[in-house]
Chain A
Amino acid sequence: MGEASSRIGTSARRIEDAALLRGAGRFLDDIVLPDLLEATFLRSPVAHGLIRRLDVSAARALQGVHAVFTYADLRPLMTSDRMPLALPAAGLRFAVDPFVLAVDEVCYVGEPVALVVAQTRRIAEDAAALITLDLEPLPAVVDPVDALAADAPKVRRECPDNLVARTRIDYGDADAAFAQAPHVIGQQFRLSKGGGHSMEPRGVLARFDEAEDLLTVWDSTQMPHRAKAILVDALGLSERQIRVLTPDVGGGFGPKAVFHPEELAIPAAALLLRRPVKWVEDRFESFTATCGERDQVWTMQVAFTQDAKLLGIRGTLRHDHGASTPYGIALPYNAATNLIGPYVLPAYRIEIDLCMTNKTPSAPTRGAGRPQGTFVMERLLDCMARKLGLPRDEVRRRNLIAPSQMPYPIPVRQRDGSTMEYDTGDYPECQARALKAAGWTDFSARQAQALSEGRYIGLGLANYVEATGRGPFESVAIRIGPSGEIVASTGATAQGQGVKTMVAQIVADAFDVAPQAVHVVTGDTSATHAGLGAYASRQAVTAGNAAHRAARLIVEKAATAAAELLEVSRDDIEIVGGACRVKGVPEQARSLGEIARALAGTPGFALPANLPPGLSVATDYMTAGLTYTNGTHLAEVEVDPETGGVTILRYVVVHDCGRMINPMMVEGQVIGGVVHGIGATLFEWMRYDAEGQPLSVTYADYLLPTADVVPRIEIHHMESPTPLNPLGVKGAAESGTIGAPSALVSAVEDALRPFGVTITDLPVTPPALRRLMRAAAARSAA
Chain B
Amino acid sequence: MKAPPFRYHAPASLSEAVSLLSNLENARVLAGGQSLMPMLNLRVAAPDHLVDLGRVSGLTGIVDEGQSIIIGAMTTQRAVERSALVARRCPLLAEAVAHVGHQQTRNRGTIGGSICHLDPGAELPVVAAALDAELRIAGPTGARRMKFRDFPEGYLTSQLAPDEILTHVAFPAIGARTGSAFLEFNRRPADFAIVSVAVQITLGASDIVTHAAIAFGGIQGAPVRFAKAEEALPGRPWSAAVGETLRRLVPELACDGDDLYPADYKRDLCGSLLVRAMTKAAARAGGRDV
Query: Which of A122, A709, A770 sits near B3, CB closer than 8 Å?
Result: A122
Which of B141-149, B157-165, B186-194, B277-285 lies at the binding interface? Answer: B186-194
Q: How far is the CA of A48 from the CA of B266 in the complex (A)?
A: 34
Query: Which of A645, A705, A709 sits near B185, CB closer than 8 Å?
Result: A645
CB B165 to nearest CB in A, in angstroms, measures 27
CB B180 to nearest CB in A, in angstroms, measures 21
CB B185 to nearest CB in A, in angstroms, measures 5
Q: How far is the CA of A284 from the CA of B44 in the complex (A)?
A: 13
Q: How far is the CA of A120 from the CA of B189 in the complex (A)?
A: 37
Residue A126, interface by CB 8 Å: yes
* Contact assessment for A770 and B260 in the assembled complex, using a CB-CB cutoff below 8 Å: no
Residue B227, interface by CB 8 Å: no
Residue A612, interface by CB 8 Å: no
Q: How far is the CA of A463 from the CA of B251 in the complex (A)?
A: 44
Residue A282, interface by CB 8 Å: yes
Q: How far is the CA of A644 from the CA of B189 in the complex (A)?
A: 15
* Contact assessment for B272 and A642 in the assembled complex, using a CB-CB cutoff below 8 Å: yes
- Residues on the A chain within 8 Å of B273, using CB: 643
Residue A708, interface by CB 8 Å: yes
Chain B interface, number of residues (Cβ within 8 angstroms): 24
Q: How far is the CA of A645 from the CA of B183 in the complex (A)?
A: 14
Residue B241, interface by CB 8 Å: no
Q: How far is the CA of A644 from the CA of B262 in the complex (A)?
A: 13
Residue A218, interface by CB 8 Å: no
CB B91 to nearest CB in A, in angstroms, measures 23
Query: Which of A682, A683, A700 sits near B192, CB closer than 8 Å?
Result: A700
Instruction: Tell me the chain B residues, 1-52 only, with Cβ under 8 Å from chain A.
Output: 1-5, 42-43
Residue B261, interface by CB 8 Å: yes
* Contact assessment for A121 and B192 in the assembled complex, using a CB-CB cutoff below 8 Å: no
* Contact assessment for B265 and A703 in the assembled complex, using a CB-CB cutoff below 8 Å: no
With contact pairs A700-B191, A765-B260 given, residues A770 and B185 touching in the complex (Cβ less than 8 Å): no
Q: How far is the CA of A267 from the CA of B102 in the complex (A)?
A: 40
Q: How far is the CA of A674 from the CA of B192 in the complex (A)?
A: 25
* Contact assessment for A708 and B189 in the assembled complex, using a CB-CB cutoff below 8 Å: yes
- Residues on the B chain within 8 Å of A452, using CB: none
- Residues on the B chain within 8 Å of A125, using CB: 1-2, 4, 43
* Contact assessment for B191 and A643 in the assembled complex, using a CB-CB cutoff below 8 Å: no
Q: How far is the CA of A677 from the CA of B189 in the complex (A)?
A: 19
By size class, the interface of chain A is 20 to 34
Q: Which residue of B lies closest to A645 (CB)?
A: B185
Q: How far is the CA of A765 from the CA of B260 in the complex (A)?
A: 9
* Contact assessment for A683 and B187 in the assembled complex, using a CB-CB cutoff below 8 Å: yes
Q: Which residue of B lies closest to A643 (CB)?
A: B185
* Contact assessment for A703 and B188 in the assembled complex, using a CB-CB cutoff below 8 Å: yes
Residue A586, interface by CB 8 Å: no
* Contact assessment for B2 and A122 in the assembled complex, using a CB-CB cutoff below 8 Å: yes
* Contact assessment for B190 and A706 in the assembled complex, using a CB-CB cutoff below 8 Å: yes
Q: How far is the CA of A536 from the CA of B4 in the complex (A)?
A: 41
CB B45 to nearest CB in A, in angstroms, measures 14
Instruction: Tell me the chain B residues, 216-270 only, with Cβ under 8 Å from chain A.
Output: 259-262, 265, 268-269
- Residues on the A chain within 8 Å of B187, using CB: 645, 682-683, 703, 709, 766
With contact pairs A284-B42, A706-B190 given, residues A687 and B4 touching in the complex (Cβ less than 8 Å): no
* Contact assessment for A643 and B272 in the assembled complex, using a CB-CB cutoff below 8 Å: yes
- Residues on the A chain within 8 Å of B189, using CB: 706, 708-709
- Residues on the A chain within 8 Å of B265, using CB: 644, 766-767, 770-771
- Residues on the B chain within 8 Å of A708, using CB: 188-190
Produce 1/0 per residue, A692-732, CB < 8 A to B.
Answer: 00010010100101101100000000000000000000000
CB A684 to nearest CB in B, in angstroms, measures 11
Query: Which of B4, B5, B192, B268 sits near A642, CB closer than 8 Å?
Result: B268
* Contact assessment for A703 and B191 in the assembled complex, using a CB-CB cutoff below 8 Å: yes
Q: Which residue of A lies closest to B41 (CB)?
A: A282
CB A746 to nearest CB in B, in angstroms, measures 21
CB B290 to nearest CB in A, in angstroms, measures 15
Instruction: Tell me the chain A residues, 590-645 only, with Cβ under 8 Å from chain B.
Output: 642-645
* Contact assessment for B261 and A767 in the assembled complex, using a CB-CB cutoff below 8 Å: yes
Q: Which residue of A lies closest to B187 (CB)?
A: A703
Q: Which residue of B lies closest to A689 (CB)?
A: B259
Q: How far is the CA of A705 from the CA of B189 in the complex (A)?
A: 11
- Residues on the A chain within 8 Å of B2, using CB: 120-122, 125
Q: How far is the CA of A125 from the CA of B40 in the complex (A)?
A: 12
Q: Which residue of B lies closest to A685 (CB)?
A: B260
Q: How far is the CA of A120 from the CA of B2 in the complex (A)?
A: 10
Q: Which residue of B lies closest to A697 (CB)?
A: B42
Q: Which residue of A lies closest to B265 (CB)?
A: A767
- Residues on the B chain within 8 Å of A121, using CB: 2
- Residues on the B chain within 8 Å of A122, using CB: 2-3, 5
Q: How far is the CA of A242 from the CA of B98 in the complex (A)?
A: 54
Produce 1/0 per residue, A271-285, CB < 8 A to B.
Answer: 000000000001110
Residue in B187, B269, B273 whose Cβ sees the most chain A Cβ within 10 Å = B187
Residue in B190, B192, B260 whose Cβ sees the most chain A Cβ within 10 Å = B260
Q: How far is the CA of A643 from the CA of B183 in the complex (A)?
A: 12
- Residues on the A chain within 8 Å of B259, using CB: 687, 689, 695
Query: Which of A284, A644, A767 sits near B260, CB closer than 8 Å?
Result: A767
Q: Which residue of A lies closest to B272 (CB)?
A: A642
Q: How far is the CA of A126 from the CA of B272 in the complex (A)?
A: 47
Query: Which of B42, B192, B268 sits near A643, CB closer than 8 Å?
Result: B268
* Contact assessment for A698 and B42 in the assembled complex, using a CB-CB cutoff below 8 Å: yes
With contact pairs A125-B43, A643-B268 given, residues A767 and B262 touching in the complex (Cβ less than 8 Å): yes
- Residues on the A chain within 8 Å of B5, using CB: 122, 126
CB A774 to nearest CB in B, in angstroms, measures 9
Q: How far is the CA of A602 from the CA of B188 in the complex (A)?
A: 68
- Residues on the B chain within 8 Å of A283, using CB: 1
CB B260 to nearest CB in A, in angstroms, measures 7
- Residues on the B chain within 8 Å of A126, using CB: 4-5
Residue in B43, B265, B272 whose Cβ sees the most chain A Cβ within 10 Å = B265
Produce 1/0 per residue, B170-214, CB < 8 A to A.
Answer: 000000000000000101111110000000000000000000000
Q: How far is the CA of A643 from the CA of B270 in the complex (A)?
A: 9
CB B265 to nearest CB in A, in angstroms, measures 4
- Residues on the B chain within 8 Å of A284, using CB: 1, 42
* Contact assessment for A643 and B188 in the assembled complex, using a CB-CB cutoff below 8 Å: no
- Residues on the B chain within 8 Å of A642, using CB: 268, 271-272
Q: How far is the CA of A525 from the CA of B273 in the complex (A)?
A: 58
Query: Which of B188, B260, B262, B268 sits near A709, CB closer than 8 Å?
Result: B188
Q: With contacts A282-B1, A642-B268, A700-B191 known, what are 14 further pairs, Cβ within 8 A? A: A122-B2, A122-B3, A122-B5, A125-B43, A129-B4, A284-B1, A644-B265, A645-B187, A682-B187, A698-B42, A703-B187, A766-B187, A767-B261, A767-B262
Across chains A and B, which 9 residue pairs bring their CB atoms closest together, nearest first?
A: A122-B2, A642-B272, A767-B265, A282-B1, A643-B185, A708-B189, A706-B188, A709-B188, A125-B2
Q: List 16 A-B contacts (CB under 8 A).
A: A122-B2, A122-B3, A125-B1, A125-B43, A126-B5, A282-B1, A643-B269, A643-B273, A644-B265, A687-B260, A695-B259, A700-B191, A700-B192, A705-B188, A708-B188, A770-B265
